[in-house]
């Protein structure tokens, strides 16, 4: 077959040589995040929605014009929440992968069962299952990067959700454009980075417009219209109301999240130094911190240090709220000792003389 001058045959099929504005902006962000442009294998999380399909085809577009040299692995997880619709979406994504000549990883998770077993809500359980699946897909293919289609719209929604629930600078900093994807087991040796190259510049309207302009099909998830979910109400009711005050409120919220994230990073560095200063000892399953350095620190620095300490000792901060940190702070001012703060999900903190001790469940 003879190709038209404006088209080329490449790894992912026949594509135009002229790149779209969307793809050019994606490449700019790719470079800003310092993602490798030559020879990486990348896993692209693909739900089938406009955001992930725009990301997938944007990467493919850049590969076809030799602006990126990448192998794309398409990864899709059926969360088991939508029955036959979820199975249809999985089959549809697999077909899209075949059309693009990409390898695909299609998985299934019983999110409802996981949520019940772990005491999580559905959103938390789905998020946990999704990232475990993506990490496993990356390890299988020896990929060091997983890409997701989170946009500036997601950033604004996340910030508002955390503001409504209550949170400090770390939480209000929202979604990070680049972070390490935690290993699913201690035996894992692959360093996997989670990258969101649409987060800093693309809104949901941008991804939908790109798909329509490029003739890219995408799926609509009925759960994104279900206002029983708080995030959907924020998207469909709160943000449109805020736009009557500021038409560019999404950009404003995303920019504010970035500022708060930088502040949180600086505070975290100082808190790490405080933990090192306060560290007294470790004995078996117990970790000890000296009270005096913590009590003398500013409240903001002390709270951040305690959260870091507990994250390290527990493995995560699940179900840990500001009330638990405040209870531990009260131990610092209580010279009697022997007082205990029980933590959700197991574990406790006790003051004994001039130290705080963390005990794991059953220790």
Which of these, 128, 137, 91, 89, lies nearest to 110 by C-alpha position?
128
SS3 106: strand
Crossing angle of helices 50-64 and 21-32, in 10° steps, is: 90
Is 255 inside any structural domain? no
Please tell me the least confidently modeled range out of 47-51, 122-126, 160-164.
122-126
Which of these, 142, 56, 67, 136, lies nearest to 93 by C-alpha position?
56
The pLDDT, as a whole number, for residue 11 is: 64
Binned at pLDDT 50, 70 and 90, residue 190 comes out as confident
| pLDDT value at 235 more than 90 | yes
CA 314 to CA 241: how far, in whole Å? 40
Pairing of strands 7-10, 13-16: antiparallel
Together in a domain, 88 and 172: yes
CA 76 to CA 94: how far, in whole Å? 8
Together in a domain, 238 and 290: no
CATH number at 100 reads 3.40.50.620
The arithmetic mean of pLDDT across residues 349-360, rounded, is: 87
| pLDDT value at 68 more than 90 | yes
Rounded mean pLDDT of the chain? 89
Is 259 inside any structural domain? no
| pLDDT value at 227 more than 90 | no
The domain of 232 spans 7-244
What confidence tens digit (pLDDT) does each residue in 286-304 have? Answer: 678 999 999 999 999 999 9
The percentage of residues in the chain with a pLDDT greater than 70, rounded to a whole number, is 90
Together in a domain, 87 and 140: yes
Backbone angles phi, psi at 290, to 5 degrees: -70, 135
Is 194 inside any structural domain? yes
Beta strand segments in 261-337, E: 279-283, 286-290
Is 275 inside any structural domain? yes
The pLDDT, as a whole number, for residue 3 is: 29
The pLDDT, as a whole number, for residue 234 is: 96
Q: What is the pTM of this model?
A: 0.86
Per-residue b or e along 339-356, where b marks 16 or more CB atoms closer than 10 Å to that residue's CB: eebebeeebebbbeeebb
């Amino acid at each position: 077959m003879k190709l038209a001058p404006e088209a080329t045959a490449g790894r992912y099929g026949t594509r135009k040589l002229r790149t779209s504005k969307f793809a050019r902006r994606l490449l700019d962000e790719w470079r800003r995040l310092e993602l490798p442009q030559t020879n990486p294998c990348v896993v692209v999380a693909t739900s089938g929605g406009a955001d992930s399909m725009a990301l997938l085809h944007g990467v493919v577009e850049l590969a076809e014009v030799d602006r990126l040299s990448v192998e794309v692995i398409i990864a899709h997880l059926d969360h088991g929440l939508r029955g036959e619709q979820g199975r249809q979406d999985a089959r549809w994504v697999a077909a899209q992968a075949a059309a693009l000549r990409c390898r695909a990883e299609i998985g299934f998770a019983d999110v409802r069962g996981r949520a019940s077993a772990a005491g999580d809500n559905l959103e938390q359980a789905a998020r946990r299952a999704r990232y475990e699946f993506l990490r496993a897909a990356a390890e299988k293919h020896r990929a060091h990067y997983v890409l997701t289609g989170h946009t500036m719209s997601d950033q604004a929604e996340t910030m508002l959700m955390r503001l409504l629930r209550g949170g400090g600078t770390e939480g209000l900093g929202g979604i990070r454009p680049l972070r390490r994807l935690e290993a699913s087991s201690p035996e894992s040796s692959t360093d996997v980075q989670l990258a969101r190259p649409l987060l800093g510049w693309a809104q949901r309207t941008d991804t939908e417009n790109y798909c329509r302009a490029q003739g890219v099909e995408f799926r609509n998830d009925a759960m994104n219209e279900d206002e029983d979910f708080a995030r959907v109400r924020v998207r469909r009711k709160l943000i449109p109301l805020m736009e009557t005050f500021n038409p560019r409120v999404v950009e404003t919220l995303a920019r504010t999240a970035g500022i708060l994230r930088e502040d949180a990073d600086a505070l975290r560095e100082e808190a790490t130094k405080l933990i090192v200063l306060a560290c007294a000892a470790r004995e078996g399953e117990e970790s000890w911190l000296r009270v005096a350095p913590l009590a003398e620190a500013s409240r903001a620095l002390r709270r951040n240090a305690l959260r870091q300490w507990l994250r390290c000792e527990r493995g995560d901060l699940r179900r840990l709220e500001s009330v638990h940190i405040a209870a531990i702070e009260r131990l610092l001012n209580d010279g009697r000792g022997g007082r205990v703060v029980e933590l959700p999900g197991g574990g406790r903190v006790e003051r004994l003389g001039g130290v705080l001790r963390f005990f794991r469940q059953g220790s």
